[in-house]
Amino acid sequence: MSKELISEKFPQYDDAGRELVRRAYLIAARALEGEVRSNGHDFIEHPLNVALIASDEIGLTADCIAAVFLHEATRKHPELDLRKGELCGMSLAGFPEDVYTMVDGLNKISKIKPKDTRLEAENYKKLIVQYSTDPRVTVLKLADRLEVMRNLDSFPKSSRENKILETLMLYIPLAHQLGLYNLKSEMEDIYFRFAEPEQYRAITNKLKATEGDRRRLTDEFIEPLKLRLSGEGIRYKLKIRTKAAYSIWKKMVKQKVPFEGVYDVFAIRFIIDCEPDSKVEKDLCWKVYSYVTEEYEPDTSRLRDWVTNPKPNGYESLHITVKNRSGASIEVQIRTRRMDDEAENGSASHWSYKGIKHEEHLDRWLKSVRYALEHPHEGNSDDLPQPPSKEIFVFTPSGELRILSAGASVLDFAFNIHSGLGVRCTGARVNGKAVSFREKLHTGDVIDVMTSKNQKPTSDWLNYVVTSKARNRIKQELNEEEFKKAAQGKELLGRRLKNWKLELPDDVLADFLKRKKYSTINSFYAAVSDETIDVNEVKNFILEHDSIVAQAIEAARASDAEKHADKMKQWDVSQGADDILVINARDLKGLEYKMAQCCHPVFGDDVFGFVTRTEGIKIHRISCPNASRLIESYPYRIQKVKWADSPAGGTFQSSLKIIAAMESSVIGQITEVVSSFRASLRSFNVNENDRNGTYEISMKIHVPSNMELDKVISQLKTLRHVMRVNRV
């Protein structure tokens, strides 16, 4: 029976082609035996109808038809080896390699279950194309979808609505891009019939009611032009078409006009047969145009001259809307055979000049699909460009689509889902198989991430990810971990130094970091925490450093009197002020002493000097937080200091911390107080403490003396909303 059926349904194929189809059909019939469709018919009806669409309406070859039947037979059996396996006691071996490639692509596409087609349409469309390593796969899927749409009445309502939306968002745009306009128009009209039934009935009824009028208009329009053109020896072919109901409705909505206001419901296209010579072609197009507009009244506002000035994509044609003697509008398109071929098949394909969203690489590949359809015996699929490969398409266990860069790993996927999932990732189940987090992913993989609350990122994780999101999050986690370790290391070192009664000044710490080649203080303290650095090593370095400083001070005291006098002169030491350094504002930029940054002394403060190893003498306030430690631990490095009798015109920086109520006016009041004295504002930062309802203000000001600073602080404390003022 199957032999007669195949001969009857597919008479266009030779004996070898029919045998190929018959064998695939037998496998499908056996595998699908007992399965029924929603309409109660045997399920084998579906692949048979799809095969007939592919063969009769699209013109695909016998191996494509065989792929349709094998796809339906095997798509529910992912464990099968298509090239060597058996199904229902029948061998799958012996089919051409192209058939297996197409079946594999169709099986993968059948597993796509869009979570939200409306939001992810472009991504799902790319995924369909990527699965189509043989370009005919996409076309077969379109034939499959058309068959489903033709039988949409038999599906349950919920399933029907999903298929309608998928068709609109995914398959209609693909059919348009491939130039399969008949499939596209039919799917659009079926969608329109179910989505907008009242509008559909209204438009189709008007089309039926006006069909006789269009036939009459056609006869009346063509007759005088036919005589004129044949009389001039112009050879041409005439194409006449009525716009589909869905296209008419879209124009009605877009242009906000009734059915009668759509000018191109009815269109006539003249295709002139001539040699592909640019001048000859243009002259003939304009000659036909002149005959049409001499015979009928043109609407010059609707003239589109893409013959003289082709579109950027190369499209060439003359478009004009004319009115006949009874006032009916008719759209007329005039082009040559070469122009028509370019518009339909070349760089100016219809889907391109209509402005459909696309990407360059995808466009070139889709054009090659059209060429493969129209030239089925030229070359093979290996000669065609492959679909884009810069991305992979993978799924969560619930079917949610995720797009990653090619080469992405399980770690990339985990971070793509959620940063918290990524940092705890220990591995995954990919397509049900347990793998490590380093595993590279491929399009179609289903990934179920495995985690552990004890898992933490390490620096080598950066070698296993390619996405920027994963890399940035891993680096952030590593930095946070280093901060935690640094805090522990700092606390540990501080406790040991206190027991040893030693200090680690900034200059000594800087020397140690340089010797050990640590770029940051945090990395040093983290190394102390994980015992990469032994704290005894730090202790020995401090003792060595103090010994060198003590020797230097002793050497300085033993120097001759003249050298000592010269030194004291540079420090502006007063005559008779034995061992006391006298300073003033003018000397702030000198090389011999500096104001300590920890306490910012101001002229008039009680101060002392501390001899450093590399930066001369640093001046500290007696009330400095570090004062007691320095004086107690290093008495031999303390230098008595007093200010000159009066400042010499310089200024001193001081830092203030202010706590104020969260009132917008208080900030302006504070800056106004500063400007009312001999003080200048150098920086001003405000942090909001929502819990306490306060501003925490930090500011730096320059003042000539502590007297002026006291005036500023005193005045700030009198402000209504200021709660506390502290000098830092």
Q: What is the CATH number of the domain that holds 720?
A: 3.30.70.260
Structure tokens at 90: 């029948």
Q: What is the pLDDT of residues 261-274, one digit of tens each?
A: 887 787 888 999 99
Nearest of 266, 252, 269, 286 to residue 329 by alpha carbon: 266
Q: What is the CATH number of the domain that holds 243?
A: 3.30.460.10
Q: Is residue 383 in some structural domain?
A: no
What average pLDDT does range 49-77 have in this prediction? 91
Task: Judge if 117 and 231 occupy the same domain.
Answer: no
Highest mean pLDDT among 153-162, 297-306, 536-545: 297-306
With a cut of 60, say whether residue 78 has pLDDT above it.
yes
- What is the pLDDT, as a whole number, of residue 120? 62
Task: Please give the order of strands across the beta sheet that includes 425-430.
Answer: 433-436, 425-430, 447-451
Is the whole model's pTM more than 0.75, yes or no?
no
Q: What is the pLDDT of residues 167-189, one digit of tens each?
A: 887 888 888 777 677 788 899 99
What average pLDDT does range 314-334 have in this prediction? 86
3-state secondary structure of 134: coil
Choice between 373 and 249, residue whose per-residue pLDDT is larger: 249
User: How open is the CA angle 223-305-316, to the nearest 5 degrees?
Assistant: 90
Highest mean pLDDT among 235-239, 282-286, 477-481: 282-286
Task: Judge if 35 and 133 occupy the same domain.
Answer: yes
Phi, psi angle pair for 119, to nearest 5°:
-85, -30
Q: Is residue 672 in some structural domain?
A: yes
Residue 650 region by backbone torsions, left for phi larger than 0, else alpha for psi between -120 and 50, else beta: beta
Task: Judge if 424 and 320 occupy the same domain.
Answer: no
- Helix, strand, coil % in the chain, rounded to nearest 5: 50, 20, 30
Q: Which amino acid is at 366?
A: L
Q: What is the DSSP letter of 409?
A: B
With a cut of 60, say whether residue 361 has pLDDT above it.
no
Q: Is residue 373 in some structural domain?
A: no
Nearest of 145, 167, 160, 257 to residue 203 by alpha carbon: 257
- What is the pLDDT, as a whole number, of residue 577? 37
- The gap between the terminal CA atoms of the chain, to the nearest Å, is 99
Distance separating alpha carbons of residues 609 and 558, to the nearest angstrom: 20
- What is the pLDDT, as a whole number, of residue 368? 60
> Alpha carbon of 144 to those of 2, 109, 378, 535, 647: distances in Å?
22, 11, 25, 74, 93
Q: What is the CATH number of the domain that holds 75?
A: 1.10.3210.10
What average pLDDT does range 150-169 have in this prediction? 84
Distance separating alpha carbons of residues 377 and 65, to the nearest angstrom: 16
Nearest of 127, 141, 142, 154 to residue 72 by alpha carbon: 141
Q: What is the pLDDT of residues 613-640, one digit of tens each?
A: 777 788 998 888 888 888 888 888 888 8
Distance separating alpha carbons of residues 460 and 479, to the nearest angstrom: 14
Q: Are 20 and 62 in contact (CB under 8 A)?
A: yes
Q: What is the pLDDT of residues 661-713, one digit of tens each?
A: 888 788 889 988 998 888 888 888 888 887 778 889 999 999 888 888 989 99
Q: Are 104 and 82 in contact (CB under 8 A)?
A: yes
The range of the structural domain enclosing residue 702 comes to 652-727
What average pLDDT does range 444-469 have in this prediction? 91
Task: Judge if 319 and 414 occupy the same domain.
Answer: no
Task: Judge if 115 and 198 occupy the same domain.
Answer: yes
Structure tokens at 185: 């128009």
With a cut of 70, say whether residue 455 has pLDDT above it.
yes
User: Average per-residue pLDDT in the chain?
Assistant: 82
Q: Is residue 41 in some structural domain?
A: yes
Beta bridge partners of 656: 699, 727
- What is the pLDDT, as a whole number, of residue 27? 94
- pLDDT tier for residue 552 given thresholds of 50, 70 and 90: low
Structure tokens at 244: 């589909």
Specify the residue for token string 């994963």.
470
Choice between 664 and 584, residue whose per-residue pLDDT is larger: 664
Structure tokens at 229: 């053109």
Helix ranges (H only) for 210-277 are 211-231, 245-255
Half-sphere exposure of 657 (CA within 13 A, CB side): 6
How many whole angstroms from its chain centre is CA 235?
53
Task: Judge if 622 and 494 occupy the same domain.
Answer: no
Out of 519, 539, 557, pick the residue that ends a domain: 557
Q: What is the pLDDT of residues 382-423, one digit of tens each?
A: 444 444 557 787 888 877 778 888 899 999 999 999 988 999
* Segment holding 250, helix H or strand E: helix 245-255
DSSP-derived pairing of the beta strands 638-643 and 607-611: antiparallel
- pLDDT tier for residue 348 given thresholds of 50, 70 and 90: very low
Handedness of CA 548, 549, 552, 558 (dihedral sign): negative
Choice between 170 and 312, residue whose per-residue pLDDT is larger: 170
Q: Who contacts 609 (Cβ-Cβ below 8 Å, separation ≥6)? A: 581, 593, 617, 618, 619, 620, 638, 639, 640, 641
- What is the pLDDT, as a whole number, of residue 589? 43
Highest mean pLDDT among 34-43, 63-72, 313-322: 63-72
With a cut of 70, say whether residue 140 has pLDDT above it.
yes
Q: Is residue 400 in some structural domain?
A: yes
- What is the pLDDT, as a whole number, of residue 591? 43
User: Lowest mean pLDDT: which of 493-507, 569-583, 631-645?
Assistant: 569-583
Task: Judge if 155 and 222 occupy the same domain.
Answer: no
Q: Is residue 587 in some structural domain?
A: yes
Nearest of 43, 26, 21 to residue 151 by alpha carbon: 43
Task: Judge if 343 and 227 occupy the same domain.
Answer: yes
Nearest of 99, 53, 58, 66 to residue 380 by alpha carbon: 99
- What is the pLDDT, as a whole number, of residue 378? 52
Q: Are 707 and 677 in contact (CB under 8 A)?
A: no
Task: Judge if 575 and 538 occupy the same domain.
Answer: no
- What is the pLDDT, as a whole number, of residue 293? 93
Out of 205, 227, 248, pick the residue that ends a domain: 205
Q: Is residue 7 in some structural domain?
A: yes
Q: Are 196 and 249 in contact (CB under 8 A)?
A: yes
Phi, psi angle pair for 107, to nearest 5°:
-65, -40
Q: What is the pLDDT of residues 79-108, one digit of tens each?
A: 888 888 888 889 999 999 999 999 998 988
What average pLDDT does range 367-380 have in this prediction? 54
3-state secondary structure of 242: strand
**Number of domains into which the chain is organized:** 6
Q: What is the CATH number of the domain that holds 434?
A: 3.10.20.30
Highest mean pLDDT among 225-229, 290-294, 320-324, 563-567: 290-294
- What is the pLDDT, as a whole number, of residue 363? 55
- What is the pLDDT, as a whole number, of residue 354? 42
Out of 205, 239, 258, pick the residue that ends a domain: 205
Q: Is residue 365 in some structural domain?
A: no
Task: Judge if 66 and 194 occupy the same domain.
Answer: yes
Distance separating alpha carbons of residues 634 and 617, to the nearest angstrom: 13
Q: What is the DSSP letter of 296?
A: S
Handedness of CA 71, 74, 79, 85 (dihedral sign): negative
Q: Which amino acid is at 546?
A: D
Nearest of 265, 381, 238, 275 to residue 329 by alpha carbon: 265
Task: Judge if 601 and 551 occupy the same domain.
Answer: no
Task: Judge if 248 and 104 occupy the same domain.
Answer: no
Structure tokens at 491: 């606390």
